Amino acid sequence: MKVGVFGAGAIGCFLGVRLSAAGVPVVLLGRKALVQVKDQLVAHGVDGTTVRPAEDLVVTDDPQALRDVDVCLVTVKSRDTLVAGETLARVLAPEAIVVSFQNGLRNPARLRTVLQQPVVPGMVSYNVLREEPAGFRQATSGPLVTGTGQGRGAAVIRMRQLADAFGRAGDRFELRERVGDTMAGKLLLNLINGVCAVTGLTISQAVRSRTMRWSFSRLMREGLAVMRAAKLHPVTVVGMPPAAIARLLTLPDAIVLRVAKTMVSIDPRAKSSTLQDLEAGKPTEIDDLSGEIVRLAEEAGMSAPANRVIVDAVHALEQTAMPLPFWTPETLRERIAASLLR
């Protein structure tokens, strides 16, 4: 099996390097800058392992290199999904399988609007940081989760092969029939993206602050209510239901930190992808994170004021020159609390 990666950023490179190191033929499609550092690529696991790709790894900026891949992992930002799909439609073999390893809920459907190939929903539950010039460090723990292939014989076989390949690479890979429930659960946990982006704090700093956790909890609770109205049934990959996590977040530090340590490993340097985009001067994916909760609420005839605060604040930061005027945790809490009283 040959695997392509369309959108070789931090997540895409990490996955591709790990697969290549495990003996899987891999094509990484990225920018010219990535091609120039091919010989320096390295992936660091959250467990302390370090691997380098095999010599046959292909790193290119030419989409034609994906013509003979059996599985293509799409890891671009949500705003680039349709463009990625249109490009893949021109180059992928008809029997290729496409796996959406992207944030949010709607990217698999976006890809299906332009692709004839089977599109399998998936999620990467961990965070990856790029270390210049070509290092990629896993900063939080968690599994890879995808659908099973939607009952199609060839797709089911390929997804099992992909699961085996990632297993050899050292990743925990889960095939789930109801992967949409898992993606909804991840979206709820991903609401911490906006909390960190608005305040400029790392994920670890946010988890350690009771004030920050209060804001995160309010976003999750609001998101849960909206998802129930939308007939979604979110589940998480961390061994605790979303509603229980939302309650846990408001408890004293000693309790939260002790429980959190048993569920997930967090590198102190780990930053949310939304904060990373803001610091790089790039548009964010906030419309597919807190913005998705706002959208689902509107579709259900509801409102989502707490998540709306996050969406508006992040969009304002996107339009602001450096240095970014981050809010304090106390200001964030005050703004969210005020929104809930309107």
The pLDDT tens digits for 238-258 are: 888 999 999 999 999 999 999
Query: Which residues have C-beta within 8 Å of that of residue 185, sequence separation ≥ 6?
Result: 234, 235, 236, 237, 242
Residue 222, burial from CB neighbour count under 10 angstroms (0-12, 13-18, 19+): buried
d(CA 154, CA 260): 39
283 Cβ contact partners less than 8 Å away, ≥ 6 residues apart? 77, 79, 277, 318
Q: What is the mean pLDDT of the chain?
A: 95
Check if the beta carbon of residue 87 is closer than 8 Å to that of residue 24: no
182-341: what CATH class?
mainly alpha
Give the integer Cα–Cα distance in Å for 39 and 57. Answer: 10
Domain boundaries in the chain? 3-177, 182-341
pLDDT 10s digits, 38-91: 999 999 999 899 999 999 999 999 999 999 999 999 999 999 999 999 999 999
Q: Is 183 exposed, middle or buried (0-12, 13-18, 19+ CB in 10 A)?
A: buried
pLDDT at residue number 238: 83
Mean pLDDT of 98-108: 96
Q: What are 278-329's pLDDT values in tens digits?
A: 999 999 999 999 999 999 999 999 999 999 999 999 999 999 999 999 999 9
pLDDT of residue 121: 97
Closest CA to 20 of 34, 37, 6, 41: 41
CATH, range 3-177: 3.40.50.720
Q: Do domains 3-177 and 182-341 have the same CATH topology?
A: no
Give the tens place of pLDDT for each residue, 4-27. 999 989 999 999 999 999 999 999
Angle at 148 between CA 244 and CA 93, to 5 degrees: 135
